[in-house]
């Protein structure tokens, strides 16, 4: 007879016996044998087994290897005591030369072929569903009595020989106030795919429609739910398809092999620390993950640069965790545009001050080391000066190589959009993040003012337009770094600028950035961004999330990143080069070793040492 009762509390051995006798009416194994690990199954010819094992080790997030059998061995003694992989899955899939050719209830008719085949047992996210429930987190696919949703993504796995494919993910809707608890509940369960690889908009993974999963069933989101995605073992099915092996078998997605191992017997622990979840974008919705230790280090950097040596009142402009959220956003970006330049000394040539360029080039150096695309946009009249400064930055070892130097002119109403996006198409932005550091910002009356309330609009190109246009482009974020409130991006704190900063009612920048980093000296903000990016990329939790748990950790590149950090020696030489080019101190117009009237030695040099 067919079994129609509750299967949650049955032991794995009992469930496997029922499966062998075709006595179950279920369509998937989600929620079955609660508390026990389930496994994806891939069976392929022994000649491909070594390469597939390497493929698993290279993509541990989707393919955590629990056990590899010998050729023709149908048992897995380390996972279960009395199993037979030919009969103990609810349903199987047959693939011939990469094509799906049918579903099977048993593999016994292929007993002869299986003698030359190897079975891989791979971890499954069904295994962590009980852990979620124990943490008070609803599991919507279990509630809705359906299979979990599985989607192909645009994220490539690390290829090994003939095994190459894109990552497949599962999606579970999670209430927004349970996101951090969800990450915490799953992060240690690495044999069950571990922590999520993406939280937020599915389009960022190349998933167009959540209602149309590639495998499994649609799972409906409740109001307030956020889509959360985990790496999925069905990635192995995609690898088999692309490999085009003459004969291969897998479980049917959602119809897992149930082991005798309890979920709390996960043999792969982690020393990565406690994860935190931070929202870094509302459009598209995007969350990032970082360790609490790394987040605390970055918040300490923010505190260090927040001192007010000029007694300007900047403490009233500061917002907590802006450095952390900005750098998380930049860490996810592929291409970053930086702007700087404040021509406060309008009676001199050049009129630029020396606060801004050092911080801008410190950010650029770290982005270059992180292998991101980076460019600088500045005033057309200052292009020649900035080319010379860039040559010095390369010569002094701050940059490894020159970066593109651009200018922007407003020629039509859509000039900013055309500059930021290919053919003005908002769906194809050239940059993911814009950073302004000590860049003159447009006030409410359309003019640009220095701290003394002098209008310098005739010296400033309308680069603000790019930040305004970025607000209309989904996925493009902006950061403003300043120390007085009249810098581009400080519009986010303009009310405080008008209230607490001298001449603030006139000079306050009206243009907002998504993230506003307020520092005692803007260069310090640039140094802090470089240091924070280093901290993030050496954080194992964040690194895994960035690469979607495929490929290998990036920590071997740590020394390259370390060499890109600012140092007292590099910044001393760079400031001397700026003095040589006639770039003056902000407050005093002095051509000495000072920035904003503060001596480099024992002030700026000490700040650099503290940040490092």
* pLDDT at residue 305 is higher than 90: yes
Token pair listed for 165:
């494919």
Alpha carbon distance 151, 179 (integer Å):
20
Alpha carbon distance 380, 533 (integer Å):
30
* pLDDT at residue 515 is higher than 60: yes
Alpha carbon distance 5, 9 (integer Å):
10
Q: Element (H or E) spanning 376, and its range? A: strand 373-378
Evaluated on CA atoms 532, 534, 540, 546, the torsion sign reads positive
Average pLDDT over the chain, rounded to an integer: 93
Q: What is the pLDDT of residues 162-204, one digit of tens each?
A: 999 999 999 999 999 999 999 999 999 999 999 999 999 999 9
Helix (H, G, I), strand (E, B) or coil at 211: coil
* pLDDT at residue 2 is higher than 50: no
Q: What is the pLDDT of residues 59-111, one digit of tens each?
A: 999 999 999 999 999 999 999 988 899 998 889 999 999 999 999 999 999 99
Q: What is the pLDDT of residues 540-563, one digit of tens each?
A: 999 999 999 999 998 888 899 999
* pLDDT at residue 9 is higher than 80: no
Burial class (CB in 10 A: 0-12, 13-18, 19+), 407: middle
Which one-letter DSSP state was computed for residue 442?
A: B
Mean pLDDT of 337-365: 97
* pLDDT at residue 1 is higher than 80: no
Q: At what angle do helices 568-580 and 357-369 cross, to 10 degrees?
A: 130
- Whether residue 430 contacts residue 398, with contact meaning beta carbons closer than 8 Å, is answered with no
- From the CB of residue 283, how many other CB atoms can be counted at a distance below 10 Å? 13
Name the most confidently modeled range: 1-15, 89-103, 184-198, 322-336.
322-336
* pLDDT at residue 19 is higher than 80: no
| Residue 28, pLDDT score | 78
What distances in angstroms separate CA 236 from CA 55, 72, 88, 122, 346, one per listed residue? 9, 20, 19, 9, 64
Closest by alpha carbon to 202, among 269, 150, 249, 146?
Answer: 150
Burial class (CB in 10 A: 0-12, 13-18, 19+), 428: exposed
Token pair listed for 207:
């998933």
All structural domains of the chain: 9-270 (3.30.2040.10), 310-607 (3.90.1640.20)
Over its C-alpha atoms, the chain yields an Rg (Å, rounded) of 28
With bands split at pLDDT 50, 70 and 90, how would you rate the model's confidence at 583?
very high
List, in sequence order, every residue forming a beta bridge with 227; answer none if it has no partner: 173
Q: What is the pLDDT of residues 138-166, one digit of tens each?
A: 999 989 989 899 999 999 999 999 999 99
* pLDDT at residue 127 is higher than 60: yes
Asked if the peptide bond before residue 170 counts as cis, ω within 30 degrees of 0, the response is: no
Mean pLDDT of 472-484: 97
Alpha carbon distance 501, 508 (integer Å):
9
| Residue 194, pLDDT score | 94
Q: What is the pLDDT of residues 220-257, one digit of tens each?
A: 999 999 999 999 999 999 999 999 999 999 998 888 89
* pLDDT at residue 516 is higher than 90: yes
194 phi and psi angles, rounded to 5 deg = 70, -150
What distances in angstroms separate CA 567 from CA 53, 87, 123, 396, 609, one per listed residue? 44, 63, 45, 12, 8
First to last CA, the chain: 70
Helix (H, G, I), strand (E, B) or coil at 189: coil
Mean pLDDT of 520-538: 98
Mean pLDDT of 39-54: 96
Closest by alpha carbon to 393, among 372, 363, 351?
Answer: 363
* pLDDT at residue 266 is higher than 90: no
| Residue 428, pLDDT score | 96
What distances in angstroms separate CA 529 from CA 310, 328, 346, 357, 481, one per listed residue? 21, 10, 29, 14, 10
| Residue 476, pLDDT score | 97
Q: State pTM to two decimals.
A: 0.93
List, in sequence order, every residue forming a beta bridge with 170; answer none if it has no partner: 150, 230
Alpha carbon distance 388, 571 (integer Å):
16
With bands split at pLDDT 50, 70 and 90, how would you rate the model's confidence at 23?
low
Closest by alpha carbon to 114, among 247, 218, 210, 245?
Answer: 247
- Whether residue 113 contacts residue 175, with contact meaning beta carbons closer than 8 Å, is answered with no
Q: What is the pLDDT of residues 435-466, one digit of tens each?
A: 999 999 999 999 999 999 999 999 999 999 99
Among 310-314, 446-450, 577-581, which stretch is predicted with the lowest mean pLDDT?
310-314
* pLDDT at residue 600 is higher than 80: yes
């Amino acid at each position: 007879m067919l079994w129609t009762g509750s299967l949650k509390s049955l032991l794995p051995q009992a469930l496997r016996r029922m499966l062998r006798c075709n006595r179950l009416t279920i369509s998937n194994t989600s929620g079955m044998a609660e508390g026990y690990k389930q496994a994806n199954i891939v069976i392929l010819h022994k000649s491909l087994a070594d390469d597939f094992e390497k493929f698993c080790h290279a993509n541990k997030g989707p393919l955590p290897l629990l056990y590899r059998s010998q050729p023709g061995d149908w048992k897995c003694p380390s996972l279960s005591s009395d199993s037979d992989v030919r009969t103990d899955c609810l349903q199987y899939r047959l693939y011939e030369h990469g094509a799906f050719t049918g579903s099977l209830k048993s593999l016994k008719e292929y007993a002869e072929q299986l003698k030359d085949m190897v079975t891989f047992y791979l971890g499954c996210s069904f295994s962590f569903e009980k852990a979620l429930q124990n943490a008070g987190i609803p599991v919507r696919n279990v509630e809705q009595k359906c299979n979990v949703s599985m989607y192909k993504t645009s994220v490539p796995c690390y290829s090994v020989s003939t095994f190459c494919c894109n990552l497949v993910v599962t999606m579970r809707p999670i209430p927004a106030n349970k996101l951090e608890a969800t990450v915490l509940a799953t992060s240690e369960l690495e044999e069950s795919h571990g922590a999520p690889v993406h939280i937020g908009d599915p389009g960022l993974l190349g998933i167009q429609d959540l209602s149309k999963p590639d495998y499994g069933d649609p799972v409906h989101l409740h109001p307030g739910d956020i889509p959360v995605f985990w790496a999925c073992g069905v990635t192995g099915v995609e690898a088999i398809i692309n490999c085009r092996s003459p004969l291969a078998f897998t479980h049917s997605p959602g119809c897992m092999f149930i082991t005798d191992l309890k979920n709390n017997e996960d043999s792969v622990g982690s020393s990565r620390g406690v994860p935190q979840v931070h929202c870094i974008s509302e459009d598209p919705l995007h969350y990032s993950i970082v360790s609490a230790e790394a987040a605390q280090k970055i918040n300490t950097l923010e505190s260090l640069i927040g001192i007010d040596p000029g007694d300007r009142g900047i403490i009233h402009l500061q917002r907590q965790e802006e450095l952390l959220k900005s750098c998380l956003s930049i860490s996810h970006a592929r291409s970053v545009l930086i702007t700087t330049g404040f021509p406060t000394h309008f009676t001199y040539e050049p009129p630029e001050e020396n606060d801004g360029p050092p911080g801008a080039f410190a950010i650029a150096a770290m982005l270059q080391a992180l292998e991101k695309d980076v460019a600088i946009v500045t005033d057309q009249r200052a292009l020649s000066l900035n080319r010379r400064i860039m040559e010095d930055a390369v010569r002094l070892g701050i940059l490894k190589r020159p970066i593109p130097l651009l200018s922007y002119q407003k020629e039509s109403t859509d000039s900013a959009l055309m500059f930021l996006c290919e053919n003005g198409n908002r769906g194809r932005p050239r940059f993911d993040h814009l950073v302004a550091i000590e860049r003159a910002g447009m006030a409410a009356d359309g003019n640009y003012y220095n701290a003394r309330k002098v209008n310098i609009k005739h010296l400033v190109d309308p680069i603000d337009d790019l930040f305004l246009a970025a607000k209309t482009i989904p996925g493009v974020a902006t950061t403003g770094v300043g120390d007085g409130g009249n810098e581009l991006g400080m519009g986010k704190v303009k009310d405080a600028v008008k209230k607490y900063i001298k001449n603030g009612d006139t000079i306050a920048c009206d243009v907002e950035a998504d993230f506003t980093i307020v520092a005692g000296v803007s260069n310090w903000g640039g140094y802090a961004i470089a240091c924070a990016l280093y901290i993030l990329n050496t954080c194992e939790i964040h690194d895994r999330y960035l690469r979607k748990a495929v490929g290998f950790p990036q920590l071997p590149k740590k020394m390259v990143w370390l060499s890109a950090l600012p140092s007292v020696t590099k910044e001393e030489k760079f400031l001397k080069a700026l003095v040589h080019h006639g770039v003056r101190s902000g407050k005093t117009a002095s051509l000495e070793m000072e920035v904003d009237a503060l001596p480099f030695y024992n002030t700026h040099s000490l700040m650099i040492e503290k940040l490092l």
